[in-house]
Amino acid sequence: MLWKADNGDGTYTNPILYADYSDPDAIRVGEDYYLTASTFTNVPGLPVLHSKDLVNWEVISYALQELPGERFKEVQHGCGVWAPSIRYHDGKFWICFPMPDEGIFMTTASDPKGPWSEPFCVKSAKGWIDPCPLWDDDGKAYLVHAFARSRAGINCVLAISEMKPDGTGLIGEDKIVIDGHDTQPTLEGPKIYKRGDYYYILAPAGSVPAGWQTAFRSKNIWGPYEEKIVMIQGNSSINGPHQGALVDTPSGEDWFIHFRDIESPGRICYLEPVKWLRDWPRIGTAGGDDIGFGEPVETYKKPNTGAQQPITEPAANDEFDGSKGSSVPAENEGEIGRLSLAWQWNCNTKPGWYQIRKDHLELNSQKAERQLCDMPSLLLQKWPVPSFVNETSLDATALFDGEIGGMIVMSKEYKAIGVRKSGEGEAATYHFVEIVGNIKGDNEVIRELEEVEDPKHAIIRVKVMKGETAQLSYGSHSHMTLMSEYGTVPGHWVGVKNGLFAIAPNKEGKGKLVVDYFRFESFMY
Compute the half-sphere exposure of residue 449: CA atoms within 13 Å on the CB side of its CA. Answer: 21
Same domain, 336 and 285: no
| 262 and 341 housed in the same domain | no
Predicted TM-score (pTM) of this structure? 0.96
CATH code where residue 470 lies: 2.60.120.200
Shared domain for 115 and 228, answered yes or no, is: yes
Q: Where are the beta strands (DSSP E) in 56-189?
A: 58-64, 85-89, 92-99, 103-109, 120-124, 128-135, 141-147, 157-163, 170-179
pLDDT for 414 equals 98
On the 0-12 / 13-18 / 19+ scale of CB atoms within 10 A, 166 is: exposed
CA distance 1 to 9: 17
* Gap between the Cα atoms of 81 and 494, Å rounded: 12
What are the catalytic residues?
Answer: 23, 188
What pLDDT is recorded for position 287?
67
Residue 177 lies in a domain: yes
- Are the CB atoms for 108 and 97 separated by under 8 Å? no
For residue 308, is it within any domain? Answer: no
Of 281, 301, 321, which one is at a domain's C-terminal end?
301
Pairing of strands 497-505, 366-368: parallel
Q: How far apart are CA 308 and CA 326, in angstroms?
A: 25
Mean pLDDT for each 10-residue chunk of the chain (525 residues)?
A: 97 98 98 98 98 98 97 97 98 98 98 98 98 98 98 98 98 97 98 98 97 98 98 94 97 98 98 96 80 91 96 96 54 59 96 92 97 98 98 98 98 98 96 97 95 98 98 96 97 96 97 98 90
Taking CB atoms within 8 Å and a gap of at least 24, the contacts of 255-258 are 255/54, 255/303, 256/202, 256/213, 256/231, 256/281, 256/283, 256/284, 257/16, 257/24, 257/26, 257/35, 257/54, 258/24, 258/204, 258/213
The boundaries of the domain holding residue 496 are 330-522
Q: Tell me what pLDDT residue 323 has.
A: 60
Domain-embedded: residue 313: no
In a domain, 68, yes or no: yes
Q: What is the pLDDT of residue 329?
A: 44
Task: State whether 285 and 362 are in the same domain.
Answer: no
Q: How far is CA 8 from the centre of its chain?
A: 26
- Are 423 and 507 found together in one domain? yes
Best CA proximity match to 173, nearest among 155, 157, 159, 161: 161
Strand ranges in 278-427 using DSSP code E only, listed in sequence order: 280-283, 285-286, 294-295, 299-301, 344-345, 354-357, 360-364, 366-368, 379-382, 388-395, 404-410, 413-422
Angle at the Cα of 45 from the Cα atoms of 405 and 419, rounded to 5 degrees: 5
Q: What is the pLDDT of residue 358?
A: 82
Residue 41: phi and psi, rounded to 5, are -90, -5
Q: How far is CA 107 from CA 310, 329, 365, in A?
A: 30, 17, 33
Number of domains in the chain: 2
* Burial class of residue 131 (count of CB atoms within 10 Å of its CB; 0-12, 13-18, 19+): buried
Cα(465)–Cα(343) distance, integer angstroms? 22
Residues 230 and 334 in one domain: no
Rg (CA), the chain: 23
Say whether both 363 and 261 belong to one domain: no
* Length in residues, the chain: 525
Identify the sign of the CA torsion 179, 183, 187, 191: negative
**Rounded Cα distance, 408 and 402, in Å:** 18
Q: Which residues pair with 393 in a beta bridge?
A: 459, 517
Say if CB 246 and CB 256 are below 8 A apart: yes
pLDDT for residue 321: 84
Domain co-membership, 293 together with 340: no
- The reply to whether 296 and 389 lie within a common domain is no
Q: What pLDDT is recorded for position 292?
A: 80
| Domain at 255, CATH number | 2.115.10.20
| Domain stop point among 250, 283, 301 | 301
Selection from 417, 419, 416 nearest residue 399 by Cα: 419
Residue 317 located in a structural domain: no
Residues 241 and 348 reside in one and the same domain = no
Burial class (CB in 10 A: 0-12, 13-18, 19+), 453: middle
CB distance 202 to 213 below 8 Å:
yes
DSSP type of residue 479:
-
286 and 340 share one domain = no
User: Is the residue at 154 inside a domain?
Assistant: yes
